[in-house]
Amino acid sequence: MKPYNYPPSEWHDRYLVQAGWTKSLRERIYQLSNLRNANRIMEIGSGTGVIISEIADQSHGQTYGLDIDHEANIFSRSLDSGTRYITGDGRTLPFPSASFDVTLCHFLLMWVPDPETVIGEMRRVTKREGWILALAEPDYGGRIDYPPEFDEIGELQIQSLFDQGADPMIGRRLKALFSSVGLVDIQVGVLSGEWTGPPTPEELESEWRTIAADLQHKLSKEALEDFREAEMEAWRSGSRILFIPTFYAIGRVPS
Ligand SMILES: C[S@@+](CC[C@H](N)C(=O)[O-])C[C@H]1O[C@@H](n2cnc3c(N)ncnc32)[C@H](O)[C@@H]1O
C-alpha cells in the first residue's frame, strides 16, 4: 500500500487534495445517511484522519478511525483528540458485530487485495438499518486524457497501480460488492467532472509528486520532466482534460 516512504505529513497534504474532489458528494451522502445523528461512526483506512476528523467536527457521535498504518494513526491523534484512532486491519475488524451506526471508507478498497472481505467486515460491525458508505473509489479503466500525448502517462499509471498490488478498476465493482453482502437501498454513482480553470499550484504539485513516484521505474527523469512541462503548458493554454471516473456507493444493513 505504501510504495513510497513519505512521512505522514506529506501523505496528509495529498489526502487533503483528494478530499477536495469529493467534498460536495460527502455533504450529500452525510445527509442521506443521517450521519450527523449517528452515535458511533467508523472510517476504515482513515489515513491521516482527513475524513473522519471532519465528521468528528460535525457530529455529536463518537468517531473511530482504523488504519493498518500505526504511524498514520499517531499523526491523526496529534491533530484530532476526539476520534479514537486504532491500528488494525479492515479485513478483521477488532469490534463485536453490530457496534456502529455508520461505517465508511474513502479511497481504501482500491488498495486492499480482498475488498469483499473488508465490505463483509463493515457489514458485520454495522447495526441493523445502519449505513455503509464507500465514498470514493476510482476506475482508471474509464480515464480520459486530452491532448492525446498524455495517453501514455495514463497507461503507465494503470500499470504502476497493478504493480503496487492495487486494483485500478475497483470503481465498477462497488455495486457488486455492496450487493454481495446483502445490503439494501443501494445507491451507486460516479462523481461528475467540471473544468472551470487550471488546478491550483498545490494541486498540480501534489498530482505530479504522485505521478513521479508511480512512474519512477517506468520513465526516465528527463521524460517525466518533459511530460510535466507539457502538462503545465496544456493547463496554461486551456486544452488539458483529465477525468478519472470515481465511484461511490451507499447501502444499508437490512432490518
Ligand atoms: C489512499 S489512503 C486513504 C486515506 C483516507 N481514507 C483519506 O481518504 O484521506 C488508504 C489508507 O488505507 C490504509 N489501508 C490499506 N490497507 C488497509 C487495511 N487492510 N486495513 C486498514 N487500513 C488499510 C492505508 O494505510 C492508507 O492509510
Q: Is the pLDDT of residue 41 over 90?
A: yes
What pLDDT sits at residue 194?
86
Q: Which residues line ligand 1 (CB under 6 A)?
A: 1, 15, 18-19, 44-47, 50-51, 66-69, 72, 89-91, 106-108, 111-112
Domain assignment present for 2:
no
Domain assignment present for 3:
no
Domain assignment present for 1:
no
| pLDDT single digits (tens) 170-223 | 999 999 999 999 999 999 999 998 888 888 888 888 889 888 888 888 899 999
What are the distances in angstroms from CA 56 to CA 33, 99, 221, 251?
15, 18, 42, 21
Cα angle 93, 171, 169 (rounded to 5 degrees) comes to: 105
pTM (2 d.p.): 0.94
Domain assignment present for 180:
yes
Specify the amino acid at residue 43: E
Domain assignment present for 18:
yes
Output the domain CATH number for residue 160.
3.40.50.150
Best residue for ligand 1 mutational test, from 68, 95, 118, 248 (most atoms within 8 Å of Cβ): 68
How many Cβ atoms are within 10 Å of 253's Cβ, its own excluded? Answer: 23
Rounded Cα distance between 223 and 219, Å, is 6
Grid coordinates of 63: 468517531
Domain assignment present for 238:
yes
pLDDT classification of 247: cutoffs 50, 70, 90? very high
Ligand 1 center–CA 68 separation, angstroms: 7
Q: Specify the residue with its C-alpha closest to ligand 1, atom 26.
A: 47
pLDDT average, residue stretch 118-146:
97
Strand partners, 86: 66
| pLDDT single digits (tens) 86-112 | 999 999 999 999 999 999 999 999 999
Helices (DSSP H) in 59-182: which residue ranges?
Answer: 70-79, 115-125, 151-163, 174-180
Domain assignment present for 39:
yes
How many Cβ atoms are within 10 Å of 142's Cβ, its own excluded? Answer: 15
Number of domains into which the chain is organized: 1
User: Residue 127's domain spans which residues?
Assistant: 8-252
